[in-house]
Amino acid sequence: MITPEYVQMMARYNQWQNRNLYGAADTLDDAARRMDRGAFFASIHNTLAHILWGDTLWMSRFDGWQPPTDEGGIVIAGWDGLKQARIAADVRFVDWGEHVQQEDLQEDFEWHPAWQETALIHPYAQLVVQVFNHQTHHRGQVHAMLTAAGAKPHETDLPFLPER
């Protein structure tokens, strides 16, 4: 289904796009970042926090990260803390991607969702793709909110991902 090279590329893409969107969000004041803009998580800040929450939850399963403590999906309330946590998570994400092996991607993965008593088993590759898809989905929402707020994110297309 996917290869370690795909995982590495998507981890780098994730880091690149987070820098892009956080940089654009930095041009807004806190009230603009927290304004309810009709998205599922209401605001730019909350949606970015949700992405970090989801990444942290999945990486606690995949790579032993400390799981998020807030089930509501808002990990860090302050903007500076959220930015720093995102930067640190992205470094760890890229490192994790560098260590994924093809054998890992061919195995099934057992995980325990909080809302269910029994474990679920899915192909590991499918769950890895889900993590990247979740990020991209919500970053698209953030991009739309930033654009509506007058911020100007940079290029988002994968073919423009800078070389290392």
Q: Nearest-5° angle of CA 156, CA 162, CA 164?
A: 140
Q: What is the arithmetic mean of pLDDT over 93-108?
A: 97
- For 105-135, the pLDDT digits (tens) are 999 999 888 778 899 999 999 999 999 999 9
Interval 150-163 mean pLDDT: 93
How many angstroms separate the CA atoms of 100 and 121, rounded? 19
Per-residue model confidence as pLDDT tens digits over 55-91: 999 999 999 999 887 766 666 789 999 999 999 999 9
Whether 20 has a pLDDT exceeding 80, the answer reads yes
Report the amino acid identity of residue 99.
H
Which structural domain range is residue 34 located in? 4-160
Q: How many domains does the chain have?
A: 1
* Statement: residue 164 has pLDDT above 80: no
Residues 6 or more apart in contact with residue 109 via CB below 8 angstroms = 61, 62, 121, 122, 123, 124, 127
pLDDT digits (tens, 9 = 90+) for 132-146: 999 999 999 999 999
pLDDT in tens, 26-47: 999 999 999 999 999 999 999 9
Asked if residues 102 and 69 have their Cβ atoms less than 8 Å apart, the reply is no
Tell me what pLDDT residue 50 has: 93
pLDDT value of residue 163: 85
- CATH number of the domain enclosing 65: 1.20.120.450
